[in-house]
Structure 1
Amino acid sequence: MEDREAEGREYLVQHKIPELLHNLSALLLYHRPERPREFLISTLEKIKLAKMTGIDYPYLLDESNLATMFEMLDVAGKGYITVPQYKGALESLGLSIQDEDYKDTDLISANVFKENVMKKFAELWAAFAS
């Protein structure tokens, strides 16, 4: 029985099902559609189409949301945040920080922040569509 459970967990991890369900749940809570099942089906179809075309992944945050998030992190209004702040923001959004090559002393501008977050969201959705 334990082998079967371990195989099941490995299958879910291999296909990134927990991450997919987490992100779909976040989209549901953000949008709160009247017809959640249809919304989920539509979202999965958008992911599949975006994977084929490379455009229009469903995003939880748009550019204005990311600008607001950046402003909240940049409390001094200097136009940049630190790498630890940046990595913390990525983690709070459920995005990976493993491939980040920044040194802790580097500074992240608002444009770099927004571009990187959107790119990571696209990579996340693309991983689910495979």
Structure 2
Amino acid sequence: DPKVFMIDYLEQLKKARATGLAFPALVQDTDLTSVFRMLDPVGLGHITYSQYASTMEALGVTKYNTAPAGKDADHISSETFCQEASVDFLFFF
């Protein structure tokens, strides 16, 4: 139930703010891995920078690292994608 999920999540955010604890993540690592796998259906182990940038923007993250590891070779690894997306989501929310 999405409504119950959002209520629970907002309560966790409120508790984290009041106690100074870390904020709960809305997007988990498994979610980001799934997104990467959709972008790399053949399993090459990398995506292009264009895919990386357009995916960040599609996810609503407009302030992302524009020079991630692998950009020069146009090969963004799963690890880089997930790491950058995790950091970007922390600053987004």
TM-score (norm 2): 0.73
| Sequence identity (%) | 26
TM superposition shift of 1:88: 1.4
Structure 1: 5+ residue stretches without partners: 1-28, 126-130
- The yes-or-no answer on 1:122 pairing with 2:93 is no
User: Contact 2:48–2:75 at 8 Å: present in 1 too?
Assistant: yes
User: Which residue identity lines up with residue 119 of structure 1 in the other structure?
Assistant: V
Distance 2:6 2:45 in 1: 41
User: Which residue identity lines up with residue 33 of structure 1 in the other structure?
Assistant: V
2:59 to 68, 93, 97: 93
TM-score (norm 1): 0.55
Larger Cα-atom Rg: 1
Residue 43 of structure 1 corresponds to which residue in structure 2? 13
TM superposition shift of 1:40: 2.4
* Cα distance change, pair 34–79 in 1 and its aligned pair in 2 (3 A): closer
RMSD after superposition: 2.9
TM superposition shift of 1:68: 0.9
Residue 79 of structure 2 corresponds to which residue in structure 1? 111
User: Contact 2:65–2:84 at 8 Å: present in 1 too?
Assistant: no
How many residues in Structure 1 have an aligned counterpart in Structure 2?
Answer: 91
TM superposition shift of 1:61: 1.8
TM superposition shift of 1:34: 6.8
